[in-house]
Amino acid sequence: MFENKNNRTELETLGEFGLINHIKQSVTLQNPGSLRGIGDDAAVIDNGPGRTVVTTDMLLEGVHFDLTYSPLKHLGYKAVVVNISDICAMNAIPTQIVCGLALSNRFSLEAVEELMLGVKLACERYGVDLVGGDTCSSKSGLVISITAIGHAKEDALIYRDGAKENDLICVTGDLGAAYMGLQLLNREKKIFLENPGAQPELKGYDYLLERQLKPEARLDIIQRFETWFIKPSSMIDISDGLASELMHLCTQSKTGCQIYEEKIPIDHLTSELGRELGLDPTVAALNGGEDYELLFTLSLAEYEKIKDRAAISIIGHMTAPEAGYRFVDRQQNVHELKAQGWDVDVEL
């Protein structure tokens, strides 16, 4: 359906955005209840007075995780969280999940129980129910597929295409920590492979490791929006890096953007490990991914409501589309913002 056998096109020539757009062009929604399909953090379905929100993600061994350093319980937890994060990015409340597993004969019953314990803990943490799933055999490692379902009132939903020129650009939490945690784990794995007797040097970096191995979705922020009396004009979760996600918002909202390096929230441990490993923390924040924080835009008129919120950082503003995507460094030099995040995930 999607492949011309006489003129093969390699996926890497399209990239993530290109592949999503290519598939989207060939899909037509047939049912009146299908309100929003490919192109946002989750699909939206009309189910009467409210709206049902649905999203799905797969985690593949060797692509998204390495069992050398990923505990099965943490992996199960993370698989749920990355989907709940997409539901949150729609300003919806998660309610159920469905879990699919592909397992090889390397895995015992006890291993599966450990994996599912993490799934269960995430369900308890976020108040969602595991209501079904599927299992099958695998010849190429472990695959976890989670579909998450949520709900929202029609007027509460937030999409990627609502930002306007001069809207504030905001992010929750801090960025780059998950990427730095991954670099630390990869460093210790390399040392272990070269010297199996070596002990890992992870002390003092618990926060970075947790951000990589056991992230959290920002359901707390979604629940606070109503009490703060604000509704973002657009929103997305940060799974592929700040730059990539911001460009998603700009593309679908038909705007440009300008963000400031000095405004990007980066934890001191991210900066410390960056110096130790010779990595720029700002680059990690822009392109590292897997932070699962929320990136959203807000009308300038809402500034007073958001300016003193400790959990929120204002990092820039939306501009006219012809202004392009701009990044202002600490020396006030202006650069073109480019997306160099992960391309292994293609979120439809």
pLDDT in tens, 311-348: 999 999 999 999 999 999 999 999 999 887 544 343 44
| CA neighbor of 175 nearest in space, from 26, 15, 21, 287 | 287
C-alpha to C-alpha distance for 240 and 343, rounded to whole angstroms: 8
pLDDT tens-digit profile of 291-309? 999 999 999 999 999 999 9
Write phi, then psi, for 311 (nearest 5 degrees): -80, -5
| Phi, psi (degrees; rounded to nearest 5) at 203 | -60, 135
Beta bridge partners of 235: 296
Predicted local confidence at residue 43, as pLDDT? 72
> What CA–CA distance (Å, rounded) separates 33 from 43?
11
Q: Does domain 168-336 have CATH number 1.10.287.610?
A: no
Q: What is the pLDDT along the chain (348 residues), one digit of tens a residue?
A: 445 556 777 767 766 566 667 767 766 766 666 666 666 667 777 777 788 899 999 999 988 999 999 999 999 999 999 999 999 999 999 999 889 999 988 888 899 999 999 999 999 999 999 888 888 889 888 999 999 999 999 899 999 999 999 999 999 999 999 999 999 999 999 888 888 877 777 889 999 999 999 999 999 999 999 999 999 999 999 999 999 999 999 999 999 999 999 999 999 999 999 999 999 999 999 999 999 999 999 999 999 999 999 999 999 999 999 999 999 999 999 999 988 754 434 344
Query: Over the stretch 258-301, which tens digit does the pLDDT of each residue have?
Result: 999 999 999 999 999 999 999 999 999 999 999 999 999 999 99
What is the enclosing helix (H) or strand (E) of 269?
helix 268-277
Q: Phi first, then psi: what are they for 145, rounded to 5°?
A: -120, 125
Domain ranges across the chain: 52-156, 168-336
Q: Walk across the sheet containing 93-103 and list its strands.
A: 34-36, 43-47, 50-60, 143-153, 93-103, 129-137
pLDDT score for 198: 75
How many C-beta atoms surround the C-beta of residue 186 within 10 A? 14
Cα 254 off chain centre by: 22
Strands in the chain per DSSP E? 34-36, 43-47, 50-60, 93-103, 129-137, 143-153, 168-172, 234-237, 256-260, 294-298, 312-319, 325-328, 334-336
- Furthest C-alpha separation in the chain: 62
Residue 29: its pLDDT value, please? 65
Q: What is the pTM of this model?
A: 0.86
CATH class for domain 52-156?
alpha beta
Q: How much is the pLDDT for 194?
A: 85
Q: For residues 158 and 231, what is the distance between their CA atoms, to the nearest angstrom?
A: 8
**Helix and strand numbers, DSSP H then E, in the chain:** 10, 13
